[in-house]
């Protein structure tokens, strides 16, 4: 089931890139994210309430709060930087470079979460890096 959710997340992320790039034509990137963030907050909390999980926030341990707050800060910074890059460059270039974060996440997961690394993960990571470099040097990125 996780594969279905992951694929749906990939489709959603692709739509975010395309729709955001289209919406950034005459709008500051930070303002655009702030507008979208309002909807993110409203929709997410509506889902939490609908699922009946609202009161569970009181059960979250202090260490978990720290992780979630730090992740929230990183999400915000990542999105602000991504939107700024999208406002300056073509979506196909920006998203390719940005998605090298997958390789960084793999390395961090191995180091901090003690996840196992396989030859397939190494080859896939190298392919991601090679693809990003190939796209980045493939042409004019000023459009």
The 10s digit of each residue's pLDDT in 132-142 is 889 888 865 45
* Helix axis angle, 91-98 to 62-88, nearest 10°: 150
For residues 84 and 127, state if they share a domain. no
> Tokens in use for 61?
């341990």
For residues 83 and 104, state if they share a domain. no
Given a cut of 80, is residue 15 above it in pLDDT? yes
Residue found under tokens 């955001």: 20
Arithmetic mean of pLDDT, 39-54: 96
| pLDDT at residue number 105 | 95
Q: Which domain holds residue 122?
A: 91-142
Q: What is the pTM of this model?
A: 0.82
> Tokens in use for 66?
């720290």
For residues 78 and 127, state if they share a domain. no
Arithmetic mean of pLDDT, 112-130: 95
Arithmetic mean of pLDDT, 4-19: 91
| pLDDT at residue number 127 | 95
For residues 14 and 40, state if they share a domain. yes
Asked which of 47, 67, 89 is the last residue of a domain, the reply is 89
| Strand, helix or coil for residue 92 | helix
Average pLDDT score, the chain: 92
| pLDDT at residue number 140 | 58
| Strand, helix or coil for residue 13 | helix
What is the domain count for the chain?
2
């Amino acid at each position: 089931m996780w594969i279905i959710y992951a694929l749906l997340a990939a489709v959603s992320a692709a739509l975010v890139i395309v729709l955001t790039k289209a919406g950034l034509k005459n709008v500051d990137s930070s303002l655009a994210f702030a507008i979208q963030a309002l909807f993110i907050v409203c929709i997410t909390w509506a889902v939490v309430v609908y699922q009946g999980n609202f009161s569970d926030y009181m059960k979250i341990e202090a260490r978990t709060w720290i992780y979630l707050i730090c992740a929230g800060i990183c999400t915000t910074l990542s999105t602000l930087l991504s939107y700024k890059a999208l406002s300056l460059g073509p979506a196909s270039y920006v998203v390719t470079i940005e998605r090298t974060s997958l390789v960084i996440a793999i390395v961090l997961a191995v180091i901090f979460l003690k996840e196992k690394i396989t030859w397939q993960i190494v080859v896939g990571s190298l392919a991601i890096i090679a693809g990003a470099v190939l796209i980045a040097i493939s042409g004019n990125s000023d459009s």
